Amino acid sequence: MPDCLPPLSDPSAPRHALPAGACDTHCHVFGPAQRFPYAEGRSYTPPDASREALAALHRHLGISRAVVVQAACHGADHSALLDALAHAGGRYRGVAVLRPDVSDDTLQRLHAGGVRGARFNYVPHLGAPPAEADVLRLADRLAPLGWHLCLHVDGAALPGLLPLLRRLPVPFVVDHMGRISAARGLDDPAFVALLGLAAQPNAWVKISGIDRIGSGTRPFHEGLPFMRAIAQAMPGRTLWGTDWPHPNVRGDMPDDGEVADALFLAVPDAGLRHRILVDNPARLYGFDDAPG
């Protein structure tokens, strides 16, 4: 039985139109379990969230591109992810979760299917963090493919990871604003460390998961100053995503129309929003130049 809440069935429409080619760089597909079973030993069991439901949400929000991030509940079985990419007509890319001993054949198969990155989890509820040596070895293997690393980091852990991040030979993306705590303010050492990544040319940050850094009460506007600060510090390396279907939410379930509108509040400059929504993801994930 699922132990996570489902996303809202009727999210509001955004108050503002997203530009052509807008990309949701952080979303998931779950199951359907009858076709794509969840992994044994998983830390959570979500309700199904199909590729059809994800595509419907993107049509509703006016999003034409997306990056589907492998869900921890599916482990290293990427069948659901690859199925979603295969049905997206080139408009979706993927981020995988890999074992340290992943074969070259598997990497090539994932690349051909549209995967362009690998994710590592450093949050306690998803299990033990990866060994530093494994991360560096895999990064070296991914570099020839043009992939990046996607790091799901608990804010408290970020300062301790900085020595590893400085050694990475590939671009890396910090998910969900590093899951810092908005209650600790903009001067919190974890957030200062996150902003410090602006000086590292291969560092990117997703201003996603606004609900995960605050009090858990919609519309999560205590996260807006943090989104704004990241976008201003790293205008060419900031990404945005919905985090649909919002697994393991502990407070209010986000309304994805409000999630989209939050970007307009945090980043009122249309040119900077276009970079975040269109130009930056097109460059990192290798989308075609023409919006679509």
Q: Provide the annotated active-site residues.
A: 243
**DSSP letter (8 states) at residue 128:** S
Are 78 and 96 in contact by the 8 Å Cβ rule? The answer is: yes
- Find out whether the peptide bond into 47 is cis, omega within 30 degrees of 0: no
Cα(74)–Cα(126) distance, integer angstroms: 12
Q: How many CB atoms are closer than 10 A to CB 256? A: 26
The set of residues, in sequence order, having a beta carbon less than 8 Å from that of 12 and lying 6+ positions away, is 255, 256, 257, 258
The tokens describing 83, both together, are 């199925």
Sign of CA dihedral 134, 287, 273, 15: negative
- What is the helix (H) or strand (E) element at residue 239, kind and residue range? strand 238-239
